[in-house]
């Protein structure tokens, strides 16, 4: 759908209109948090994602695996000589999605 001037029309409000608490989204290609500038997913983004995915940790892990895939591609373009550290990326994007025994 496009506006009369030809620009795309989106059903969602711009990120700048969201409450600050909901702005903990990734700023690509650096994968820093838009709200706090920490490495995304920052602790607050992790908490929001856990709430959003509630008791469905498998879907959260699948979503975060997609984010990991995108981040890996971005980091390979940004740092072609060294590339990203796989262990650090796994810890950052996926390790925290696991259900803890208890």
Tell me the DSSP string of 14-39.
PGGGS-GGG---EETTTTEETTT-SB
Give the pLDDT band of residue 11 (cuts 50, 70, 90): low
3-state secondary structure of 33: strand
21-50: pLDDT as tens digits: 568 999 999 999 999 999 999 999 999 999
Closest Cα partner for 96 from 55, 71, 60? 60
**In this predicted model, what pLDDT tens digit does every residue of 48-84 receive, in sequence order?**
999 888 889 999 999 999 999 999 999 999 999 999 9
DSSP 99: P
Question: Rounded to two decimals, what is the model's pTM?
Answer: 0.76
Examine residue 3 and say whether the peptide bond preceding it is cis (omega within 30 degrees of 0). no
């Amino acid at each position: 759908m496009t506006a009369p001037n030809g620009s795309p029309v989106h059903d969602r409000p711009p990120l700048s209109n969201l409450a600050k608490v909901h702005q903990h989204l990734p700023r690509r290609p650096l994968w820093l948090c838009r709200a706090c500038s920490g490495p995304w997913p920052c602790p607050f983004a992790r908490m929001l994602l856990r709430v959003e995915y509630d008791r469905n940790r498998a879907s959260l892990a699948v979503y975060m695996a997609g984010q990991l895939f995108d981040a890996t591609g971005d980091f390979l373009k940004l740092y072609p000589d060294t590339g990203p550290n796989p262990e650090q990326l796994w810890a950052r994007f996926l390790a925290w999605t696991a259900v803890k025994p208890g």
